Structure 1
Amino acid sequence: MSREYRSCETCRPGSRHCRFDAELAPRDDPERIAAMPAATHTDVLVVGAGPAGSAAATWAARYGLDVVLADAAVFPRDKTCGDGLTPRAIGELHRLGLTDWVFAHTVNQGLRAHGFGQRLELPWPQVEGLPDRGSAVPRTELDDHLRTTALKAGAVGVEGARAIDARLDGGRVRAVTFRGAEGTFEIECERLVVADGVRSPLGKVLGREWHRDTVYAVAGRSYVTSTMSDDPWISSHLELRGEQGQILSGYGWVFPLGDGSVNLGAGTLATSKRPADVAIKPLMKVYADTIGDEFGLSGELRNPTSALLPMGGAVSNVAGPNWALIGDAAACINPLNGEGIDYGLETGRFIADMLVAGDSLETAWPALLTEHYGEAFSVARRLAGVFSNPKLLTALGPVGMRSDFLMTLALRWMGNLVTEQDRDRAARIWRWAGRRSVAIDARPPFS
C-alpha cells in the first residue's frame, strides 16, 4: 500500500515525541474507499472512525506508520450524542491542531445547573494544562472533520465496510473480515485498534464483555430551534421529571450550537438491579415542553435518537497481544454525565504512543487505562449508582444545589477536569475517594 508519509521537519518519521501540532496541509484527494482487495495489508488497522478511532489513526499516521481507518458508515454520518466538548476535549483537539476550527463554531464558558428551585452558573474552572472554554459541534460535522484530519495525516480510509470477524493466531489478530457493498474481504494487519463504539461488535468477537452490575445510562438527543442558540452557557437540568411529574434518576441538557438551534437531550441512570423503565424519546418531548418557554424552543424535535451507554470501564477483555479497545468500545464514558468524546480522543493518542513504542498490548493497555481512569471511574460509578435511586436523589439534590462549593466540585469531577498536575483540595478529595473506592470494588474498572 502506498501513501504519503508526513511528519514535522525536526522529527524523524515515527518519532514518539513528534506531535506536529500545526494544521496539516491537505493531501491531494484523500481516499474514500467503499471496498478493498482481499490482499490488503497494513501496519495498523483502526476499526471505527469516531473521535477515538480517528485520533488513533491521525497520531499513528503522523508517527510514520501505515494506517487503514475503516468504518461501517459512509461519512458524514450522524451519531447519538450531546455534541458537547468539555475543556478536556478542547485540549485534545488543540493537540491535533484543530483549535481554530472548533472555536469557529461556538464557545461556552461553563455550566448552568438547574434543579430543586435553584439555578447556578458555574464557569469552567482554571485547571493547569487545560483551556477554560468549551464548545459544541454536531457529531455529523465533528466526526467527519476528525476522519478527514486522519486522511490528511496519511491514513487510508475505508467506508461502508462493516467488520464482521477476525482471523486469530494464538490470540494475535492476523486479519479482520469486512462486509461491504461488493461482498466480503480481509485486511491483514500487524496491530489492530478497535474503536467501533458502545456496542463494539468486533470487540465482542474478540471477547469483550460488558458488566451491567455497575451503573449505565440510557440517553437520547434531538435538535430543536431555540432563541438561546448563542447562549454562552451549556445547561443541565438535574431535576428531571416524567410524564406524571415523578422525579427520575437522570438529567436533561441543552447545548447551544450557535446556528439557531440547540442539542436537547435526556438520560437516565440504571443498573442490572435497577433497570431503566423510561421511554427516552417521549421523555425528551416532556422535557422540551417543560423548559420550552425559558429556552425559547419552537417547532418539533428533529432527528431524535437514543443509545445504551456502558460507562466507567465496565468491560473486560479490552486487549490482546496485538489489539486493543479504545474510547466507547472500552466503556471510557464518564458515569456522572455520559461524556465520552474527551476520553475517546485521549485513548486514541495513548494507543498510538503505545503502538510506536512496540509494547505488547495485552497487559500494557489495561494497565494504562487503569492508571489514567481506574480510580476516577470507580468513584464516579459509585456516585452515579447512588443517584440512580430517585429517593436518594430527591433527598440529596436540594442539598447539593444550595451549595456553590459542592456544585463547583461536581462540575470539576463531572467534566473530567482533574489533571495529574492538580494538587488543590478538589483534586485531593477526588483521588482519595478514588483510591478507597477501587479498594472495595468487587470488579474494578477494565477487569
Structure 2
Amino acid sequence: MESFEVVVVGAGPAGAAAAIHAVEAGYEVLLLEAGPLGRDKTCGDGLTPRAVHQLERLGLAGEVTAHYVNHGLKLHGYGGDVTAPWPDSDYGRVGSAMPRTRFDELLARTAAARGATLWDNATASAPELADGRLSSLTVTVAGVEKQIRAQWVIVADGVRSTFGKQLGREWHRGEVYGIAARSYCDSPHDDEPWMHSHVELRGEDDEILPGYGWIFPLGDGTVNLGCGALSTDARPAKLNTKKLLHHYAAQQREEWGLGEPERVTSALLPMGGAVSNVAGANWMIIGDAAGGVNPLNGEGIDYGLEMAEHAVELIRAGYRDVTHAWPRLLRARYGEAFLLARTAARLLTYPQFLPAVGPLALRGPVGAKLMPAAARLMANLITDEDRDLMARLWRTAGRGVTAARGNTPLWS
C-alpha cells in the first residue's frame, strides 16, 4: 500500500489546479487521470476574465493568453446584435479560449512539474470508509490494482463523477441542467476577438428551436462551435443536440467560412450546485462533479479553478472533518448566485419565453443597455466587493430567492 497526503481524482482543470495548490502548500500529492492526459470533453473552451484571473494565481495566464485573447461577447438573434465587452472588474478584462485537450494537459503537466505524482490511464474505485473517513482506495493502472492510503481526497472526476457516486454523491435532476453538443470547425476567422452566441435558432421549417448556439474562436485555425439547451425532469428539452449542431453549422457556414464539424461530442451537465453528498470527513467533491456550473451560460472552468483553491485552503486550515464545512463554504461563496441563476434559467425551459423577450432584449437602445449588464452576470463577473446598482440588485435578488427556495437542493 502506497500513502499520500492528498490524492486528487481527476486531472481536468479543477483537479489539476487542486494538485498545484496542494503541492505548493507543501503536501505530497497523487494526481489521477482516468484516461490519457488531455482527454477531449464536451466544452465550449471559453475562458472568461474570472477564469483567467485564477490562471494568474496558478502562474499560467500568460502561457494561455499568449495564444489567443478575446474582449467579450457578441449576442445575436431576433433581428438584433449586441456587443458586450468584458467590464472593468476585479478579474480584469482579458478573456481567452483553448481546446480542452491542450488546456487540461497544460494544467496536469504543470502539477507534475511542480512536484505532484501524476498517473494517467488510472481509474479510482472501491473507496474504503470508516466513520465517514476515506481511509484507502483502489487505483487500477495498466491493469494492475494498487491500494492507496490517503489523508485527504479531492474528487474532481467530471460530470459523471464515477468515483463520487461511490461516495454517495447525488445529482438532483429536478433542478435545471444542461444538454449540449460541441464540435471544432476550420475557419479563417479563428482570431476574431469576440465570443459569439446565437440565442435564436431556427429549424428547417423556420420554427424557433428551444436552444442556443455558440462560436468561440480559438486562434489556432479553428473555432469551437456548439449548441445547447436547458432542461429539467419536468420539462425535458426535446432536442437532438448533435443534429441541431450540424444544422447550426450550415446556417453559419458562409459568414464564418466554416469547414465541416469534427470531433462532435455531447453531454448532460449538472448545474448550479444541484448536487448533494459532496463531502465526508476527509474528502471533498469539486468542479463539474459538484455541479459547479453557471446555469445562465454553462461556464464551469472558473468555478472549478476556484473550488480547487478553496478545498486546499480548508485542508491547510487544520480541519479534521469537512463533512459540513465544505458544503457550508460552497453555499456561502456561491449559494445565492447559483440559486438565483437556477431560478432565472428555469424561465428558459419554457419554449415561449425567449421568443417573447428576445426581440426586446436584442434590438435598439434597450438591448444596448440591457445585454451588456446581462453578459456581466452570465460571465460571473460580479464580486461581493462591487457596489454599483447592478451588483446590489443581483445580491438583493439572490437573497430573496434564497429565502423563498430555502429547501432547494444546494450542496446538502
TM-score by length of 1: 0.89
Question: 2:286 & 2:340 partners in 1: Cα distance?
Answer: 21
RMSD: 1.1
The secondary structure found in structure 2 opposite 1:77 is: coil
Q: CA deviation at 1:131?
A: 1.4
Matched, 1:318 2:283: no
Matched, 1:46 2:34: no
Question: 1:103 & 1:397 partners in 2: Cα distance?
Answer: 33
1:165 to 116, 126, 143: 126
| Residue aligning to 1:374 | 335
The residue type paired with residue 239 of structure 1 is E
Question: 2:10 & 2:402 partners in 1: Cα distance?
Answer: 30
Matched, 1:304 2:264: yes
Unaligned runs of 5+ in 1: 1-38
| Residue aligning to 2:52 | 90
Question: 1:312 & 1:374 partners in 2: Cα distance?
Answer: 8
Paired residues in the alignment total 407
Matched, 1:294 2:255: yes
Q: CA deviation at 1:444?
A: 4.3
| 1:215-241 Cα distance to aligned partner (Å, 9 max, x none) | 101011100011211101110001123
The secondary structure found in structure 2 opposite 1:319 is: coil
Question: 1:72 & 1:149 partners in 2: Cα distance?
Answer: 18
| 1:271-325 Cα distance to aligned partner (Å, 9 max, x none) | 000112211111100001111112221x311100011000000101111111000
Question: 1:185 & 1:246 partners in 2: Cα distance?
Answer: 55
| 1:315-372 Cα distance to aligned partner (Å, 9 max, x none) | 0111111100000010000101111000010001111111111222111110110011
Contact 1:374 1:444 survives alignment (8 Å): no
2:95 to 134, 143, 152: 134
5 Å-filtered alignment, 1:22-421, equals 39-127=1-89, 129-297=90-258, 299-359=259-319, 360-402=321-363, 403-421=367-385
Contact 2:45 2:100 survives alignment (8 Å): yes
Contact 2:3 2:150 survives alignment (8 Å): yes
Question: 2:274 & 2:208 partners in 1: Cα distance?
Answer: 26
| 1:187-245 Cα distance to aligned partner (Å, 9 max, x none) | 11011100000110111111111101111010111000112111011100011233443
The secondary structure found in structure 2 opposite 1:126 is: coil
TM-score by length of 2: 0.97
Report sequence identity in percent: 52
Q: Against the structure 1 CA distance between its residues 424 and 287, is the aligned structure 2 distance closer, same or farther, given a 3 Å change threshold?
A: same
The secondary structure found in structure 2 opposite 1:329 is: helix
Contact 1:243 1:283 survives alignment (8 Å): no
Question: 1:249 & 1:425 partners in 2: Cα distance?
Answer: 32
| Residue aligning to 1:426 | 390
Question: 1:242 & 1:278 partners in 2: Cα distance?
Answer: 11
The secondary structure found in structure 1 opposite 2:201 is: coil
Unaligned runs of 5+ in 2: none
The secondary structure found in structure 2 opposite 1:107 is: coil
